Structure 1
Amino acid sequence: MIDVSRRLRRAILLNNLPLVRRIVRNNPSRLRNVDFDDKSNTSLHLAARHGFTQIAEFLIDKGHEDEMISRNNDFETPLMLAAAAGKEDMGVMLAKRFPRCIPWRDRAGLDALMLACKSGFGTLHLIPTLILHGPSILAAADSNGNTALHHASASGELKALRMLLQYGANPLASNAYSWTPVHYSATSAAEAYFKTLIIEFEKKKAEGRREGERRRKGAGVRLVTDEDGLEGRGRVSGDRERARDDAAINGLPQPGIEWSPIEKRRAMTPTESRGWTFTPEGMRARAETGESI
């Protein structure tokens, strides 16, 4: 006869909710069912990693997380596994039910927002949910000082990058090695796109400040200057912004930015071949001169 623990894990992997219910009902002490051969992942870890939301909700309702939030040997919560695996619906459910664990970090110093930005599957609901229920996470940094914006940039996840900027992420945040997110752009085209986004958002912020100042002064008439006209012409609609996102992701030229659709990653960026390496051998070359810094 198959061991109860193995039967429960198998039932979860098969996404067989009736079988999971029956096993848990007959063996309530095996609810968490820690798997010491798999980094001490629990039943909820397993369901979260595979995106089996109904099974996860059943486990939670039966008291899976009543005593404490599950964390494996790498300090990963079920929310982190869902975010890393791109299981957006699962991540949203876990974030809403356990908001206190949103800012928690794993052994590598990564939180759920950073993992979602790396996976590139959380731009529809998960990233907004994480920021809404844990606003401090937007400025959080991993053990090397990298923010979620650093990770989105390094992974080439342009939609996540745009969303983080919309929510107020600091594009000038430096990590422990004095690199900002733009330095981690996956390609020179992505870097140009990133810089364009920064300019757009800075213009919108400046415009908002000027509008607020005009309202405070009670100005009834607005003078249109050449600068205002340029800014007006520079604004793009939501549809155009989304189209430019898709163009950048699919390797198509963007309006106003000239670059080859087959251009490869720029040599000697911090993400080139060695990953996040900052040894003398992994130094990034200056873009203009090519000399090491």
Structure 2
Amino acid sequence: MIEPSIRLRRAIHLNDASLVSRLLRSHPRLLSNPDFSSKANTSLHLAASHGFTTIATLLIDAGHDGDEISRNADHNTPLMLAAQAGHVETATFLAVRFPRSIHYRNKDGLDALALATQNTASTGLIPTLLSGNGIYYADMESRDNEGNTPLHHASASGGLKALRLLLDAGADPTARNFYDWMPVAYSQTVAAEVYFRNLVAEYERRKMIEAEQRESGKVGIRAGAVRLVMDDEGSGGTAEDDVMSKQAWSPSGERRRPPTPPGVRGGGDWGAATIAMVRTRSGSGGVQ
């Protein structure tokens, strides 16, 4: 006879809410049911990873995560798994029900916002995470274990809408990670880099207008506001010259390219790029 714990997991996999409900009535102690053969994922982790909002609702109403937010062996919460998998409806539901989990980070230092920016299917979740409930909300300048901000992850994943959402919310496009790279360095294609820089130029113009409006009532206002300078501006050289100058050298003498942030998926909103336009990534020397 199949053990009730296995039957419960199978019922969740099948998205069979009625069977899940019957099993929990018969075996209420199996509610969380961590699977130690699969990173100790609980019932809610399983439902969230598949985007089964109805079952997630059933589990929470039965008391799942009533005392504390469940985390698996990688310290991922159910919200993180839903965000990572692109299940916006389920992730939004979890963020609303458990807003305090928005701040949680996994072993890689990634929170739900960083994971959402890695998958373009989760772009619709970003506004919810940024607004939160007024008390708990995502920090757009949070950093993972390598110093990457959500903007770094959005750039590396090719998430055009995510880039705009983050910049509109005030994310810093000049933030550098622990390898001294800014988000624009992770652009997947030349076209993506141009788009990013245009967004930053728009961001700069807004800042200048805001600064002028603040200073408009003062005597002796300066002619211009402080301007954000991207790596290829003000150097007098070409963009290629600047990229070369920014490449660090290892003790062995090999140039160091920016490593792609962990967990980032390729493609993004740009779709399939031509080989001539795709940037190479570190490690393999191939294309991403």
TM bucket by the smaller chain?
Answer: 0.7 to 0.9
Contact 1:139 1:147 in 2 (8 A): yes
Per the alignment, residue 176 of structure 1 pairs with 178
Offset of 1:109 from its aligned partner? Answer: 1.3
DSSP-derived class of the 1:139 partner: coil
Could you give the per-residue CA deviations for residues 234-256 of structure 1, whole angstroms, max 9, x where no partner exists? xxxxxxxxxxxxxx7257xxxxx
Q: Which amino acid aligns with 1:89?
A: E
Aligned to 2:28: 28
Local SS of the residue matching 1:142:
coil
Equivalent residues in 2 for 1:141-180 (5 A)?
141-180=143-182
Query: Contact 1:108/1:142 (CA < 8 Å) preserved in 2?
Result: yes
The 4+ residue runs of structure 1 with deviation greater than 6 A are none
Q: Deviations over 1:40-77 (max 9, x none)?
A: 00000000000000110110111110121110000000
Q: How far is the alpha carbon of 1:210 from its aligned partner? A: 2.1
* Counterpart-to-counterpart distance in 2, 1:163 and 1:181: 14
Structure 1 position 261, deviation (Å): 6.5
2:127 counterpart residue number:
128
Distance 2:283 2:165 in 1: 28
1:2 aligns with 2:14: no
- The gaps in structure 2 that reach 5 residues or longer are 224-268
Q: How does 1:217-228 map to 2 (within 5 A)?
A: none
Mapping for residues 82-231 of structure 1, pairs under 5 Å: 82-124=82-124, 126-133=125-132, 134-214=136-216
CA contact (8 A) 1:95 1:130 kept: yes
CA distance in 1, matches of 2:138, 2:31: 33
Q: Which residue of 1 aligns with 2:66?
A: 66
| C-alpha contact (below 8 Å) 1:53/1:90 kept by paired residues | yes
Task: Report if the CA contact (8 A) 2:113-2:138 is conserved.
Answer: no
Q: CA deviation at 1:204?
A: 1.4
Alpha-carbon distance change, 136 to 102 in structure 1, aligned in 2, over 3 angstroms = closer
- Partner secondary structure for residue 122 of structure 2: coil
| Alignment-derived partner of residue 283 in structure 2 | 274
Cα distance between partner residues in 2 of 1:187 and 1:113: 23
Separation (CA, whole Å) in 1 of partners of 2:33 and 2:93: 21
What's the TM-score once normalised by structure 1's chain length? 0.75
Q: Is the 8 Å Cα contact of residues 45 and 81 (structure 2) preserved in structure 1?
A: yes
Deviation of residue 162 (structure 1)? 1.2
Q: Which has the higher contact order (CA 8 A, sep 6+)?
A: 2
Distance (whole Å) between structure 2 residues aligned to residue 23 and residue 196 of structure 1: 55
Letter in structure 1 aligned against 2:129: L
Shift of the alpha carbon at 1:136?
4.9
- Give the TM-score of the pair, scaled to structure 2: 0.76
Return the offset for 1:149. 0.4
Quote how far apart the aligned CAs of 1:132 are: 0.7
Deviations 1:117-151 (A, max 9, x none): 11111222x10011111445211000010000001
Distance, in Å, in 2 between the alignment partners of 1:213 and 1:97 is: 43
Q: In structure 1, what is the Cα distance between the partners aligned to 2:283 and 2:113?
A: 24
Contact 1:83 1:115 (8 Å CA) reproduced:
yes
Do the aligned residues in 1 keep the contact of 2:24 with 2:30 (CA within 8 Å)? yes
Assess, with a 3 A threshold, how the Cα gap between structure 1 residues 165 and 14 changes in structure 2: closer, same or farther: same
Kindly provide the CA deviation profile for residues 171-192 of structure 1, in whole angstroms up to 9, marking residues without a partner as x: 0001111111011111122111
Distance 1:18 1:61 in 2: 14
1:265 and 2:286 aligned: no
Letter in 2 for 1:184: Y
CA distance in 2, matches of 1:83, 1:136: 13
Preserved contact between residue 102 and residue 137 of structure 1 (Cα < 8 Å): no
> In the alignment, residue 264 of structure 1 is paired with which amino acid?
M
Is the contact made by 1:17 and 1:55 (CA closer than 8 Å) also made in structure 2? yes
Q: Could you tell me how far 1:4 is from its partner in structure 2? A: 0.2
The separation in 2 between residues aligned to 1:12 and 1:266, in whole angstroms, is 41
2:173 maps to a residue whose letter is P
Cα distance in 2 for partners of 1:16, 1:101 equals 26
Preserved CA contact (<8 Å) 1:49 1:85: yes
- How many residues end up aligned between the 2 structures? 234
Q: One-letter code of the match for 1:265?
A: V
